[in-house]
Structure 1
């Protein structure tokens, strides 16, 4: 097996080690391998290819890190054909939540989420996607 060296903030490394201990992993490498498999498999769902999708992307960041908000707005404008709407809110004492409603194809949504995840100083990036056809069939059946 190839050995890979990565850099991460001390607090993230502590969380990683704590997670490994709490969940019975043999070490941080096992956690990182599983996380990499999960991340790479997120958009591998063949059932979503060639489907028109809708989704929500949620980003949390510290509001004192002003560059994150600017970067989110840059990405929103860069992907205006994908982002149907977005919402910004303050939560807690220092945090912001940026919520993007997206509509498009899997590759485009994947690229958008990847660019958000690559943004420095984001604390959390989460998303949910569904095929629009799933709701079209439900509406047609109800008629």
Structure 2
């Protein structure tokens, strides 16, 4: 770990301290590390350089919309390598919500999500991506913790 010195104006420092309190951070360093990671991930996502990610695609749609179910299934089958699991929830007589766990490159996940959210009949949608391997840092393997 490295120690650095930064200079912030009083207004920004007040905003930072307020965010630290609102989010329950124990100290400024933890908050700044998390905010920095989030900012770096957002910048990487915007430039299409997110690398390997996991994501949650959440969307609400009108289940009676003409051919929407068929179009959604076609999209998922066309990208079967990205989708890990989907939760389907009936919200009311007209609306359903789906939450899909995805895994792949950030660019592929964003492309897939954009197509799902743009379908006629999808009312709201959002993709939340989390990097699985920080840039320049390999994840370490532990002998006592395995995933199939």
Provide TM-score, normalisation by structure 1. 0.58
CA distance in 2, matches of 1:50, 1:111: 12
RMSD: 2.8
Structure 1 counterpart of 2:89: 89
Matches of residues 1-143 of structure 1 in structure 2 within 5 Å? 43-44=45-46, 49=49, 51-133=51-133
Counterpart Cα distance in 1 of 2:44 and 2:113: 11
Aligned length: 98
**Secondary structure in 2 aligned to 1:43?**
helix
TM-score of the superposed pair, with normalisation by structure 2: 0.56
1:59 deviates by 1.4
**Poorly superposed stretches of 4+, deviation over 2 Å:** 136-140
Instruction: Go from structure 1 to structure 2 and tell me whether the alpha carbon gap of 1:64 and 1:103 turns closer, same or farther (over 3 Å shift).
Output: same
Q: Aligned pair in 2 of structure 1 residues 50, 43: CA closer, same or farther (>3 Å)?
A: closer
User: Counterpart of 2:133 in 1: which secondary structure?
Assistant: helix
User: How many Å separate the matches in 2 of 1:121 and 1:137?
Assistant: 40
Where in structure 1 are there 5+ consecutive unaligned residues?
Answer: 1-40
Displacement after TM superposition at 1:139 (Å) = 9.0
Taking a change above 3 Å as real, the CA distance of residues 94 and 129 of structure 1, as seen in their structure-2 partners, is same
How far off its partner does 1:112 sit?
A: 0.1
| C-alpha distance after superposition, 1:52-89 (max 9, x if no partner) | 10000011111221522221111111100111112222
Question: Structure 2: which 5+ residue stretches go unaligned?
Answer: 1-42
Shift of 1:50: 5.6
Pair member with larger Rg: 2
